[in-house]
Amino acid sequence: MNKRRIVVTGIGVISPIGIGKDKFFQSLKEGKCGIDYITRFDTTNFDAKIAGEVRDFDPCEYIDKKECRRMDRFTQYAVAASKLAVSDAGLDINSVDKDMFGVCIGAGMGGLETLEAQHDILREKGPGRVSPFLVPMLIANIASGNVSIALNAKGPSITIVTACASGTNAIGEAFRIIERGDADIMITGGTEAPITPLALAGFCAMKALSTRNDDPKTASRPFDKDRDGFVMGEGAGMLIIEELEHAKSRGVKIYGEVVGYGATGDAYHITAPAPDAYGAYKAMQKAVKDAGIEPKEIDYINAHGTSTEMNDRLETLAMKKLFGDDVCKVAISSTKSMTGHLLGAAGAVEAIACLMAINDGVIPPTINYMNPDEQCDLDYVPNKARNKEVKYAMSNSLGFGGHNASIILKKYE
């Protein structure tokens, strides 16, 4: 039996470099950086004082004001990006088969902002003052739940929590749901709002964050020899993916086809990637096999590329294992240099960057690449976007706990 073909028909993005796909795409092509000083709380006592905050976001443009107050920021981002994707796809949610319309969203941390605020209330005013909405604002699955409610999607509704691989795993699992016939349409992607005092303090304590506070715009520098850690970002990326014939029957624009998905576990360490890069390599290999292609057919890779010493070096090693002598022919970039690291939303926003490359024939750059690292010696599309036809693009995500995920997107033909 022939496999069902699954295509992307709608894109919604809330990001530090723009709200909506057009602003996001344009910022990527221009190499615009969305990282700056944190404005939401006092960072005086923190080692890291910078992040990729989403600016000019008004949730009430997308969500009823009363409902907004009952959603943590990470859910607001998910609902807003989902509505943007639905609009972009020209999807009439009242006319689709609701039982075949599902939701699969990744989130790494859930409603941290709510948790911290309500914990302060508990300590200062006692348990009787804690909000009855604490739990339904906090739990990581509530973004999927609220999107399902907002869009009246009654098919499979699930949440993927695999740390920084969540968004990529979510797209991959949504792809599988349609592939096996359990849905015709899925809204899928990732969302995260981790720029809070507790999260910042935790990552600072791990020495995982860049402390290049004197120059925020150059702090995220994947694959550069002088990288000193990642920079947190926030936002959401959502895709409408649907079975090809279903999309064709609606006569809508097709951004690309989802053709491959691979996922593995390192089984090594809670935060450090495996030193042989086997898990990352194997996830990419599985995605290539699933797509029915050879590695050399990949034109562009949106790397996980966090700007940490170990990730960048070992992801480079994994790509060398996969591509062999052809590795120098593939264009690679990390858009985290511009957005920061969106944690559970990263893979989804980066899949959108891949679709941009496929549709525009423009590969986004790795900005802030100034001092090459002898152990990171591939073509990272340094500092300026590159015009290039892209037929196949791969997006990689690697998460704490040893979660590795890779998806392959293809130009629709």
**Residue of 341, 354, 376, 403 with catalytic role:** 341
Q: Which residues of 75-200 form beta strands (DSSP E)? A: 101-106, 157-160, 185-192
**Residue of 33, 104, 164, 354 with catalytic role:** 164
Based on the residue annotation, tell me whether 246 is a catalytic residue of this protein.
no
User: Which residues are within 8 A (CB) of 199 and not within 5 positions of it... i.e. 6 or more apart?
Assistant: 109, 112, 232
Q: Which two tokens stand for residue 316?
A: 């480079």
Distance CA 377, CA 368 (A): 15
Q: How many CB atoms lie within 10 A of CB 266?
A: 23
- Sign of torsion over alpha carbons 211, 214, 217, 218: negative
Q: Residue 187's beta-bridge partner residues? A: 103, 240
The two beta strands, 392-399 and 403-410, are antiparallel
Q: Which residue has the tokens 């999607």?
A: 153
Q: Which residue has the tokens 């969203």?
A: 105
Cα 2 from chain centroid (whole Å)? 30
* Cα distances (angstroms) measured from residue 84 to each of 13, 22, 80, 257: 7, 11, 6, 20
Distance CA 302, CA 19 (A): 20
HEC string for 118-165: HHHHHHHHCHHHCCCCHHHHHCCCHHHHHHHHHHCCCCCEEEECCHHH
**CB distance 92 to 100 below 8 Å:** no
Based on the residue annotation, tell me whether 304 is a catalytic residue of this protein.
yes
Helices (H) and strands (E) in the chain, counts: 13, 15
**Residue of 204, 246, 304, 376 with catalytic role:** 304
Q: DSSP letter string over 33-59? A: ---EE--SS--TT-S--EEBPPPS--G
Phi, psi of 278 (to 5 degrees): -65, -45
Q: Which two tokens stand for residue 389?
A: 């036809």
Distance CA 157, CA 140 (A): 13
Based on the residue annotation, tell me whether 341 is a catalytic residue of this protein.
yes
Residues acting as catalytic residues? 164, 304, 341
